[in-house]
Amino acid sequence: EAQVTQNPRYLITVTGKKLTVTCSQNMNHEYMSWYRQDPGLGLRQIYYSMNVEVTDKGDVPEGYKVSRKEKRNFPLILESPSPNQTSLYFCASSQTVEVSSPLHFGNGTRLTVT
Amino acid sequence: GENVEQHPSTLSVQEGDSAVIKCTYSDSASNYFPWYKQELGKGPQLIIDIRSNVGEKKDQRIAVTLNKTAKHFSLHITETQPEDSAVYFCASSPVGATNKLIFGTGTLLAVQP
């Protein structure tokens, strides 16, 4: 089944403890991206990647890192999480970098930082 | 930069009624407008999209209309069913951006049986 898989689904951590949220897609998609979803703010892009070893900042990149060493994986790293990073996170991929190429989203990771 | 406003934030309708969600964008050069549906516990999924050279597009019970002059676009759902209950997001794409979408703030649609 074609899908984007995120892990974990739920994560509770403390301020300053490094964490990684994994994302993997099995569709050989070129483009991958991370979003955060907050009430009243919709979906905001954190980072994106147009291909292996090519990443760039989105609209809210502060406090996050990403890497794209393999085409299928695009982990999101929080080096020193803070409470304002408590949010619902989505990884997404699309076949090409064209804007009309539909985004396929994972089922989300709900992160709580205390 | 591009900004997308979406209204209403919540919408409750009776089964069988129509539902309309409206979005306004700020960048007159935006040329692609998708709508995504997010069911509870899942990620958003594309349900319909429209390009700036088209005024209306239909797919069974859903349709999207675009008014470039007024810079707004709307999602229309007819004969609503309980399975239409979800959060709906509109989005627009700034010209020249690489698969970059600016999303609206979402509308929670509840269809009452």
B108 burial class (0-12, 13-18, 19+ CB within 10 angstroms)? middle
Q: How far is B7 from chain A (nearest CA, A)?
A: 11
User: C-alpha A67: how far from its chain's center?
Assistant: 10
Mean pLDDT rounded to a whole number for chain A: 96
- The rounded distance, in Å, linking the Cα atoms of A103 and A51 is 15
Helix residue ranges, H only, A2-76? none
Nearest residue, CB atoms, A43 vs list B9, B45, B103: B103
Q: Are B49 and B32 in contact (CB under 8 A)?
A: yes
Report pLDDT digits (tens) over B59-78: 999 999 999 999 999 999 99
Q: Do A41 and B105 touch (CB under 8 A)?
A: yes
- What's residue B98's pLDDT? 66
- pLDDT tier for residue B97 given thresholds of 50, 70 and 90: low
Of A50, A81, A44, A51, residue with least CA distance to A65:
A81
- What's residue B52's pLDDT? 86
* pLDDT beyond 80 at B1: no
Query: Which residues in A lie closer than 8 A to residue B104 (C-beta atoms)?
Result: 42
> CA-based diameter of chain A, in Å?
39
**Count of CB atoms situated within 10 Å of the CB of B97:** 17
The residues of chain A scoring below 70 in pLDDT are none
- The rounded distance, in Å, linking the Cα atoms of A97 and A54 is 12
Report the percentage of chain B scoring pLDDT > 90. 83
A102 and B CB contact within 8 Å? yes
